[in-house]
């Protein structure tokens, strides 16, 4: 008899389920990570070698940016136009008087069908100067980031989660504050930083067909009938576009020092923050937390999640070209140290977790290490070390790195490293 139940199981393992099923099969043995040759970071398309910061900025950086647009994340289409901002509410005694909270609607006049995104901005009270800011996207919405009960609950589509009290793909009252441990607002505000967040699903719902109801589908001339071509944007590019629109607003807010704004993201949103920071040089500091495959981890290492797994489970994140490198990583013209290097000469910090082997912590460190020569062109030191440091022992100069105790999450320890790094570079 044919093993029908097994066949049916294989058929339904897509997205999160497929990725989870592959974790137990992944390689976690460093001796089996494989040998590989990285593409030349400082070798231009014409074969010449970059020797100056000017040559990097003028020639090699645009080449690499174009390679990522063509082969990995896709290019944001031209002509989307400028966003519009509407401040919906201001609460001057937020968090027991420690902060002012603003809720701002960001829309796109050229695409009225898109509902826009709700930006939540907390600025510390009593600072007497514009506050430097951390800007990022959340997984659960503003009501999940904040514990304040007057923050409106998001009505957008959300990934199913019994643990986070998502019912029929919608948030519930019980889901308030379920992401607040990843966004320790009072801790951040007490150090003099502002925090700006928006729900990534406001830009595009995170599932294979989510683009049809999100920005990509609504701005495409063909709408839901679109057939995405090589080099056209995936969801990560759409989410990164949203991060830049947040910065557009922050530049208009006199309570924020937008010239000192860090872009931060965790996991898939860590991939997004890296790509946003690469494209938008207005971000003064780039932070990747547990971003793994397709983020800070070297793709050519056979460790943890692989290109084959991520391009099958999350096809919608990338441009269609990227799947060509599943099991064929050596053919890709970039590796992720290129992405880290695109932040230069701005500071960048990569955070790993020792129990998050799926994200390949060593591969994340190696991207920072191999990006260091670009920082040296600017007279700056990169990681400053050639070996991955011990657990809970942060390293780095212009490229920061730490691997902490624990698993795939954002902890206070991570925030302590990011804030300290920001203070070091922005003092």
Q: What is the pLDDT of residues 386-412, one digit of tens each?
A: 999 999 999 999 999 999 999 999 999
Q: What is the dihedral of CA 374, 376, 380, 382, to 10 degrees?
A: 60
14: pLDDT confidence band, cut at 50, 70 and 90?
low
Annotated active-site residue 267? The verdict is yes
Mean pLDDT of the region 308-326: 97
Of 59, 165, 397, 408, catalytic = 408
Burial 51-84 (b: 16+ CB within 10 A, else e): eebebbbebbbebbbebbbbbbbbbbeeeeeebe
**With contact defined as beta carbons under 8 Å apart, do 86 and 299 qualify?**
no
- In angstroms, the Cα distances linking 312 to 61, 196, 213, 246, 323 are 29, 32, 21, 30, 8
Neighbouring-strand partners of residue 136: 197, 264
pLDDT above 70 (res 5): no
**Alpha carbons 334 and 294: distance in angstroms, whole number:** 11
pLDDT above 50 (res 45): yes
Mean pLDDT of the region 11-20: 74
Which pairing describes strands 399-404 and 348-353: parallel, antiparallel, or unpaired? parallel
By CB neighbour count within 10 A (0-12 exposed, 13-18 middle, 19+ buried), where does 223 fall?
exposed
pLDDT above 60 (res 182): yes
Question: What does DSSP assign to residue 330?
Answer: G
Q: What is the pLDDT of residues 265-284, one digit of tens each?
A: 999 999 999 999 999 999 99
Whole-number pLDDT of residue 79: 94
**Alpha carbons 418 and 426: distance in angstroms, whole number:** 12
**Alpha carbons 113 and 91: distance in angstroms, whole number:** 29
Nearest to 179, CA basis, from 247, 266, 243: 266
**Alpha carbons 116 and 137: distance in angstroms, whole number:** 14
Percentage helix, strand, coil for the chain under 3-state DSSP, each rounded to 5: 35, 20, 45
293: pLDDT confidence band, cut at 50, 70 and 90?
very high
Annotated active-site residue 59? The verdict is no
Q: What are phi and psi of 222, to 5 degrees?
A: -90, -5
Of 237, 267, 291, 352, catalytic = 267
4: pLDDT confidence band, cut at 50, 70 and 90?
very low
Tokens representing residue 72 in the block = 């990995």
Q: What is the pLDDT of residues 242-256, one digit of tens each?
A: 999 999 999 999 999
15: pLDDT confidence band, cut at 50, 70 and 90?
confident
pLDDT mean across residues, the chain: 96
């Amino acid at each position: 008899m044919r093993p029908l139940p097994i066949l049916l199981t294989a058929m339904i393992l897509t997205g999160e389920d497929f990725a989870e099923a592959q974790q137990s099969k992944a390689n976690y043995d460093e001796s089996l990570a494989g040998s590989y040759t990285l593409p030349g970071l400082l070798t231009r398309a014409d074969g010449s070698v970059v020797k100056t910061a000017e040559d990097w900025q003028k020639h090699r950086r645009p080449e690499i940016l174009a390679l990522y647009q063509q082969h990995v994340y896709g290019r944001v289409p031209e002509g989307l136009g400028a966003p519009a901002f509407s401040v919906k509410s201001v609460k001057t005694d937020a968090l027991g008087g420690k902060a002012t909270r603003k809720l701002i609607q960001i829309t796109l006049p050229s695409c009225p069908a898109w509902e826009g995104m709700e930006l939540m901005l907390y600025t510390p009270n009593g600072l007497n100067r514009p506050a430097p800011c951390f800007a990022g996207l959340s997984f659960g919405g503003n009501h999940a980031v904040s514990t304040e009960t007057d923050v409106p609950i998001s009505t957008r589509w959300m990934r199913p989660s019994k643990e986070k009290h998502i019912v029929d793909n919608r948030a519930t009252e019980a889901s308030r504050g379920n992401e607040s441990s990843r966004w320790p607002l009072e801790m951040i505000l007490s150090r003099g930083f502002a925090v700006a967040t928006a729900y990534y699903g406001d830009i595009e719902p995170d599932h294979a067909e989510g683009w049809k109801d999100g920005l990509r589908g609504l701005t495409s001339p063909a709408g839901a009938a679109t057939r995405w071509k090589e080099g056209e944007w995936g969801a990560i590019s759409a989410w990164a576009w949203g991060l830049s629109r947040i910065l557009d607003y922050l530049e208009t807010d006199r309570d924020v020092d937008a010239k000192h704004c860090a872009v931060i993201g965790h996991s898939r949103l860590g991939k997004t923050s890296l790509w946003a920071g690469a494209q938008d040089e207005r971000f003064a500091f780039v932070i990747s937390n547990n971003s793994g495959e397709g983020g800070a981890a070297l793709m050519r290492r056979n460790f943890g999640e692989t290109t084959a797994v991520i391009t099958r489970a999350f096809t919608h994140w990338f441009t269609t070209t990227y799947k060509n490198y599943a099991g064929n990583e050596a053919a890709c013209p970039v590796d992720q140290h290129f992405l880290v290097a695109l932040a230069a000469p701005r500071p960048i910090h990569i955070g790993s977790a020792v129990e998050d082997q799926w994200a390949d912590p060593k591969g994340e460190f190696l991207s920072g290490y191999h990006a260091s020569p670009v920082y040296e062109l600017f007279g700056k030191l990169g990681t400053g070390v050639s070996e991955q440091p011990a657990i809970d022992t942060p390293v780095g100069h212009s490229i920061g790195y730490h691997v902490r105790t624990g698993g795939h999450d954002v902890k206070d320890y991570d925030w302590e490293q990011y804030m300290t790094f920001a203070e070091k570079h922005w003092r």
